[in-house]
Chain A
């Protein structure tokens, strides 16, 4: 997710991690095209989203993570992020935000968004220990933030 966000910077990047239905396990990373190609807005490309949704449907998968990047602000859902997700969103998904505002350190945070309420949740890195060696851990009172160098 961070690599995708860096690659698309200064535009916002967006994508999904799919997993087997009902497991909550994030297993398949699906980088999506930001149809808005904007530094301040993102929207899944409609045709690509349909193709990927069909593939998940055929695989009995669901969206476990829906992520996007902020390129100039912190990794926290904006008013439009929360508004759109509440109106018609992905109720089971973890909404993950990546910020690329700092060229050295990317911050990654995870949220649930429902009915206009944003609830931060901790991220726990499991497996692949070598993959997290370059992550710096910082703890806030109710969340764990991973700063990736």
Chain B
């Protein structure tokens, strides 16, 4: 099972500047564990030590924000495309 993952600019230092990498996993959490074996440090930028998604990162399976479909437990299917994006936010 191969999943295409689009990497935002700020995380490309972890992927030798590759914009797209591929990984495997039944869930989003497994995918990040797999990616981290080749792209060291990537997982820690997305997943907290407690094992949740960081507050200001968005992860999508195809067009769906995984927060609404189970977070790191969200299921992946062969051919899915995963996108990581910074959650652009701030305040006064």
Residues of A within 8 A of B (CB): 12, 14, 32, 36, 38-44, 46-47, 49-51, 53-54, 57, 62, 66, 68, 70-73, 77-78, 80-81, 84-85, 87-92
Contact = CB atoms under 8 A, between A and B. Distances in A.
A70 B89 CA distance: 12
Nearest to B46: A88
Interface stretch (B24-32, B50-58, B71-79): B50-58
B17 interface: no
Interface of B: 6, 8-11, 45, 54, 56-58, 60, 63, 65, 67, 83, 85-92
Given A80-B90, A84-B56, A90-B9, 11 more contacts: A14-B88, A40-B91, A42-B89, A43-B89, A44-B89, A49-B87, A68-B90, A73-B92, A80-B91, A88-B45, A90-B8
B91 A42 contact: yes
A3 B57 CA distance: 29
Given A50-B65, A88-B54, A38 B91 contact: yes
Nearest to B57: A88
B14 to A, nearest CB: 12
A68 B89 CA distance: 9
A104 B85 CA distance: 36
7 A-B pairs with the lowest CB-CB distances in the bound complex, closest first: A81-B90, A41-B91, A43-B89, A40-B92, A44-B88, A88-B86, A46-B65
Contacts of B63: 47, 50-51
